[in-house]
Chain A
Amino acid sequence: EIVLTQSPGTLSLSPGERATLSCRASQSISNNYLVWYQQKPGQAPRLLIYGASTRATGIPDRFSGSGSGTDFTLTIGRLEPEDFAVYYCQQYTTSFTFGPGTKVDIK
């Protein structure tokens, strides 16, 4: 089973700052089946990025994904107040796994 590690665990930033979140896999993820979600308290997760770098419908262009193989990054260009949340990466190879999440909170 592929294990996903996300860093940092918590990222404390101010609105307007840039956020860089990392997701590292224990083995290479084929076909870039790497996904990013955002989750706010009391809500279901929301799809942000699929295929490592493709924004889902309706996702603002301040969100971008990059990477391949075992190292992937989610970048939020300029943090808006509604972006403070927990972000999860997820992969699919022969099975599905989620990373432990990165919490982006207000500094």
Chain B
Amino acid sequence: EVQLVESGGGLVQPGGSLRLSCAASGFTLSHYWMHWVRQVPGKGLVWVSRITNDGSSTTYADSVKGRFTISRDTAKNTLYLQMNSLRAEDTAVYYCGRGGVTAALDYWGQGTLVTVSS
């Protein structure tokens, strides 16, 4: 059974850093593109970042470019999102998702809440 479990969210001050993890089971990360998507509670979905199956290419939304870094550890079958220079507008639930056929995210984690506030 495919499962994605995020962790690492919490309260952080503006300017601070946080690393989110997404532990994958039931499949091998190195066979799929993986994504991070965020959602302010009560608002819509916003795509954040993507890493290709071989890890050779990463892409970011303009709003996080230069501050966030997506990576993975194939030995641990875990996806990461390193978030630096956090701002209040980064406050959201962060989901990891597996990229399936034709760019669809076919499995999603349950989300982890990041709150940026002093």
Contact = CB atoms under 8 A, between A and B. Distances in A.
Interface of A: 1, 31-33, 35, 37, 39, 44-47, 50-51, 54, 56, 88, 90-92, 95-101
Interface size class of B (residues with CB under 8 A): 20 to 34
B101 A51 contact: yes
Contacts of A47: 100, 104-107
A85 B24 CA distance: 27
Contacts of B44: 88, 98-101
Contacts, number: 68
Interface of B: 35, 37, 44-47, 50, 59, 61-62, 95, 100-111
29 contacts: A1-B62, A32-B102, A35-B103, A35-B104, A37-B105, A44-B108, A45-B37, A45-B105, A45-B108, A46-B108, A47-B100, A47-B104, A47-B106, A47-B107, A50-B104, A50-B106, A51-B102, A54-B102, A56-B106, A88-B44, A90-B45, A90-B105, A92-B102, A95-B61, A96-B47, A96-B50, A97-B47, A99-B44, A100-B44
Contact of A44 (B50, B61, B103, B109): B109
A99 B45 CA distance: 8
A89 to B, nearest CB: 10
Contacts of B45: 37, 39, 45, 88, 90, 98, 101
Nearest to A44: B108
A96 B105 CA distance: 11
Most buried by A among B59, B101, B103: B103
B35 A96 contact: yes
Most buried by A among B44, B45, B107, B108: B45
Contacts of A32: 102
